[in-house]
Structure 1
Amino acid sequence: MLSRVFGFGRRPFESLSEQEILALAISSEEDDARIYRAYADGLAEQYPDSSKVFEEMAEEEDGHRAVLIELHRKRFGERIPLIRREHVRGWYERKPDWLVRPLGLDKVRAMAEQMEDQAYRFYIEAIKRTSDASTRKLLGDLAAAEKVHESLAVRLGHKHLTDDVKSQEAATERRQFILTMVQPGLAGLMDGSVSTLAPIFAAAFATGDTWQTFLVGLSASVGAGISMGFTEAAHDDGKISGRGSPIIRGLASGIMTAIGGLGHALPYLITDFWTATTIAAIVVFIELWAIVFIQNRFMETPWLRATLQVVLGGALVLAAGVLIGNA
């Protein structure tokens, strides 16, 4: 672990021979092509036009690799040394696509542009380490190919991504964000904010003890968060429904459930009962209107309907908790 962090056992770039620099360039182009194809596969189902962009970018990297191999064959023969980016101290590394999923359009396009910029800087540094004229020319041509006026992702985007396609893909991406993040998070916030009202305020008015009320609220919020998170993750793997990663949905639902309950439980850390209760009531008011806003903003629920569903329902649950606590 320490050797990976501090670079022990790695070669400094300055120590590489011209043959090793060519080998590093070959393996780098191969890795980039595989990453672009992985991006294309990850986008193919929902964003087919953007997927074509990354397929062509992979083909471009294959072309770079082919000319590098041909140059190596002419200068050094058929045997290419095994050297990769991770073998060179301080050199940039690529993350495999499974580490950056889910693949969003903006994310992969930004990463593609970063990859091109890093490849350009690699070739500029490589030119400084070579003296052979043909090698310097090829590395310079590859650097120029990576550093065009517009990035390859943008150029290919103009070819494949018309305004209509971009609008469709943006709508698809927004829908996926809502299904994977907003919907389960909203369900969790509603459950945490509303379902914990009765036990927290019932405990508050039954005991008059702020610390005991806080413990009830903490346990109810954490327990509800764990329950909602596991339920969301377990009941739908997202493959048929298209709702995305069950882990992400479970985390969104569980965390927001806990936050919804803790919002009006934390004020009971204040020792004065009426001060804590007043602040908790204000927090409940803010929570309920936040839910109304999210429903209207992302779920396109009309304001009046959302208000009746959430604020009226929350008020009834709060009243039930107060009445039970005073019984």
Structure 2
Amino acid sequence: MTAGRAGSRDIRIILNCNGIQQMKAFADLTEREILAVAIAGEEEDSRIYLAFAEDLAERYPDSAQVFTEMAQQEKGHRHMLLRIYEERFGPDLPPIRRADVKGFIKRRPIWLTRNLPLERIRKEAETMEFEAQRFYERAAERATDVGIRKLLTDLAEFEQRHEQRAAQLSDKILTPDARSAEDHTARRMFVLQYVQPGLAGLMDGSVSTLAPLFAAAFATHQNWPTFLVGLAASIGAGISMGFAEALSDDGSMTGRGSPWLRGGICGLMTTIGGLGHTLPYLVPDSWANAFWIATAIAGVVVFVELWAIAYIRARYMDTPFLQAVFQIVLGGVIVLAVGILIGGA
């Protein structure tokens, strides 16, 4: 029995050494540990805001300045906490971190916040301040020392107003001209990261699948085999375009964002573009004139797709509308005619 207990104890020690962490409940923290965790948290938040500022400096310099100011405020919080800690407990901090406390505030690794849109970064900051406020409120409820409780309560109230203060700071720093410039940059980033890969996929999926789909349709005059050809062409084109977009640019120099996000958008829109005029061929072959019904519906869908693409190009890519119509609609009609001629040969 003794050997068995010793063996179990050895197993627990090995598990802990191999990285299985034993976390401490918030209710079990002492005042000293609460202050130590708060100090570490303010330091981490300050570094996160500085990372936000560094990430935004080139794209949104005025908003980057806002986050730099917020980082300085977090440093001020840390100094306040550290001063009262040293007065009560001395200079040595216990080795306890956020990750050691069960249910404590979680922060995303900073590398996961790189190249996020400005609004997403602002939402991250709002979430950080809300979670910090909740922590200070709970910590103040547990504090028995009057001075510590007052400081934690003050910090909770400060975090509650931090979002409003950040907005006031933005109003002071972001002049109308600066806001206009950032809005222009935001639109440009939206076009680069979402519209451009999506439009490229939609164009490829809508146009490149026309020839094989209508060639199969007029060669067989049967809906189900035509649908299978269109489905295979759409999915195959989506996979190909998705990988091509993802591997073409890592976004580090062009600012086009995550390559896998762009690739996913491009691949999805390519597949959707092909499926639009493929789905009508699900009309059952048992219906009277089933082939012509499906082909008529597919023709209407193709017409709508091509004009929609021309509109998007004119709206977001600064292409004159008539030029976009000439390039897309005329090109699509030619590809469609080629597919019909080949299939009917």
Q: Are the counterparts in 2 of residues 113 and 153 from structure 1 also a CA contact under 8 Å? A: no
Partner of 2:334: 316
The AA in structure 2 aligned to 1:190 is M
TM-score (normalizing by structure 2)? 0.86
After superposition, give the CA deviation of every residue in 1:173-228 in whole Å (9 maximum; x if it has no partner). 11011112111210111011011101101001101222221221122112212222
Q: Structure 1 residues 113 and 207 mapped into 2: Cα distance closer, same or farther (>3 Å)?
A: same
Q: Does 1:43 align with 2:61?
A: no
Structure 2 residue 310 is the aligned partner of structure 1 residue 292: yes
1:93 corresponds, among 100, 106, 110, to 106
TM-score w.r.t. length of structure 1: 0.91
CA contact (8 A) 1:19 1:72 kept: yes
Q: Verify: 1:22 aligned to 2:41, yes or no.
A: no
State how far apart, in whole Å, the 2-side matches of 1:96 and 1:153 are: 23
Structure 1 residue runs of 5 or longer lacking an equivalent are: 1-7
1:304 Cα shift? 2.1
Partners of 1:10 and 1:88 within 8 A in 2: yes
Please show how residues 87-126 of structure 1 align to structure 2 within 5 Å: 87-126=100-139
Is the contact between residue 126 and residue 163 of structure 2 (CA under 8 Å) also seen in structure 1? no
Deviation at 1:168, TM superposition (A): 0.3
Q: How far has the Cα of 1:150 moved from its partner?
A: 5.5
- Tell me the distance in 2 between the aligned counterparts of 1:60 and 1:198: 62
Q: Do the aligned partners of 1:39 and 1:54 also contact (CA within 8 Å) in 2?
A: yes
Contact 2:105 2:132 in 1 (8 A): no
**Does residue 92 of structure 2 align to residue 74 of structure 1?**
no
Q: What CA distance in whole angstroms lies between the structure 1 residues aligned with 2:163 and 2:238?
A: 47
Q: Which moved more, 1:195-204 or 1:226-235?
A: 226-235
Are 2:242 and 1:229 equivalent residues in the alignment?
Answer: yes
Larger radius of gyration: 2
Identity of aligned residues (%): 58
Shift of 1:149: 7.8
Give the match for residue 212 of structure 1: 225
User: Does the Cα contact within 8 Å between 1:112 and 1:153 map onto a contact in 2?
Assistant: no
Q: Deviations over 1:50-96 (max 9, x none)?
A: 11111111111111112212221221222222333333333331223
CA distance in 2, matches of 1:236, 1:89: 41
Corresponding pairs, count: 320
Which of 190, 198, 201 lines up with 2:203 in the alignment?
190
Letter in 2 for 1:114: T
What is the aligned-residue RMSD (CA, Å)? 1.9
Tell me which residue corresponds to 1:5. Answer: none
The answer to whether the 8 Å contact 1:228/1:250 transfers is yes
1:159 aligns with 172
Report the Cα distance in structure 2 between the residues aligned to 1:215 and 1:142, rounded to whole angstroms.
63
Cα distance in 1 for partners of 2:279, 2:91 equals 69
Aligned amino acid, residue 312 of structure 2? I
Q: Which residue number corresponds to residue 322 of structure 2? A: 304
Partner residue of 1:242 out of 248, 251, 255: 255
Q: Which moved more, 1:83-92 or 1:155-164?
A: 83-92
Shift in Å at residue 128 of structure 1?
0.4
Among residues 275, 278, 301, which one is paired with 2:296 in the alignment? 278
Residue 301 of structure 1 aligns to a residue whose secondary structure is: coil
Secondary structure, in 3 states, of the residue corresponding to 1:90? coil
- Code of the aligned partner of 1:159: K
SS of residue matched to 2:71: helix
Selected match of 1:254 from 261, 267, 290: 267
CA drift of 1:103 comes to 2.0
Q: Which residue of 2 aligns with 1:55?
A: 68
TM-aligned CA distance change 1:149 to 1:80, over 3 Å:
closer
Alpha-carbon distance, 1:253 to partner: 1.7
Matched, 1:83 2:119: no
Counterpart amino acid of 1:196? T
Deviations 1:213-251 (A, max 9, x none): 122112211221222222222233333333333222222
1:121 Cα shift? 2.0
In structure 2, stretches of 5+ residues that fail to align are: 1-20, 286-290
Q: Which amino acid in 2 is paired with 1:15?
A: D
Judging changes above 3 Å, is the alpha-carbon distance between structure 1 residues 130 and 288 closer, same or farther for their aligned structure 2 residues?
Answer: same
C-alpha distance in structure 2 between counterparts of 1:266 and 1:242, whole Å: 36
> Bigger CA drift: 179-188 or 306-315?
306-315
Q: Secondary structure at the match of 2:36?
A: helix
Contact preservation (8 Å) 1:35, 1:96 = no
> Do the aligned partners of residues 149 and 51 (structure 1) sit closer, same or farther apart at CA in structure 2, a change above 3 Å counting?
closer
Conservation of the 8 A alpha-carbon contact between 1:40 and 1:51: yes
After TM superposition, give the deviation of residue 313 of structure 1 in Å.
1.7
User: What one-letter code is carried by the residue in structure 2 that aligns with 1:276?
Assistant: A
Counterpart of 2:77 (choices 61, 64, 72) is 64
| Structure 2: distance between partners of 1:149 and 1:188 | 42
Q: 1:32 to 1:312 in 2, by over 3 A?
A: same
